[in-house]
Structure 1
Amino acid sequence: MVLHFLIRGRVQGVGFRWFVHREAAELGLRGWVRNTDGGEVEVVAAGNHESLTELRAELHKGSRGSRVDKVIEHELDEVEASSLGEFKIEGAW
């Protein structure tokens, strides 16, 4: 299963990407997280249904210091998982 999330709110500059990375890695998910030019955080994650359900719950809660206003979710075609490796932060220094 592959899911795409777009998280809106106060999610940039508050450690949100690092939070997502830690949660996804602990759950054994593959994929990536990155900031968007519009001030959101974008996540693509692949794994089993249970792990993705746990990640979804964490995304709605957010990291300490963040404020999640909205989480938009789409299921992607399973073929998208073939290009995903170990969970990483894109655009990090």
Structure 2
Amino acid sequence: MSTAGHDADDVRMTAWVRGQVQGVGFRWYTRANALRVGGLTGFVANLRDGRVQVVAEGPRAGCEELLAWLRGADTPGRVDGVTEIWDAPRGGYRGFESR
């Protein structure tokens, strides 16, 4: 797996957020927080089953900060739970977008 363009300390975090997280501005705020953290690329998207998927690549500390926000009290809507997996970054993202 190529890690071109990534630091050795970069990671890929994929999180699935359950709860009342669609139709409440969740994607907009998630993107805004990813940009606030800085150094992250990836996307946030609604899933058909009502969850929101967040894929973030960048420094592990930044991904952990975004994950803490997803689990925190400042998210819009109601978060019932967050499940995440960690992996090596794959690249290919330009910035952080809402899909």
TM-score bracket relative to the smaller structure = 0.7 to 0.9
Which SS does the other structure have where 2:28 is aligned?
A: helix
2:73 aligned with 1:52, yes or no?
Answer: no
Alpha-carbon distance between aligned partners in 1 of 2:87 and 2:43, rounded to the nearest angstrom: 14
Q: Distance in 2 between matches of 1:71 and 1:36?
A: 14
Could you tell me whether the CA contact under 8 Å between 1:31 and 1:88 is conserved in 2? yes
Gaps of 5+ in 1: none
Conserved 8 A contact 1:32-1:87: yes
TM-score by length of 1: 0.87
Q: Secondary structure at the match of 2:50?
A: coil
- 1:6-61 CA distance string (max 9 Å, x none): 00001001110011000001112100000000000001001111111110110012
Residues in 2 aligned to 1:85 and 1:2: alpha-carbon distance in whole angstroms: 14
Larger Rg: 2
After TM superposition, the runs of 4+ consecutive aligned structure 1 residues lying more than 2 A away are none
Q: CA deviation at 1:84?
A: 1.6
Unaligned stretches of 5+ residues in structure 2: 1-10
User: In structure 2, what residue type is equivalent to 1:50?
Assistant: A
After TM superposition, list the pairs within 5 Å mapping 1:62-73 onto structure 2.
62-64=74-76, 66-73=77-84
Q: Does 1:3 align with 2:13?
A: yes
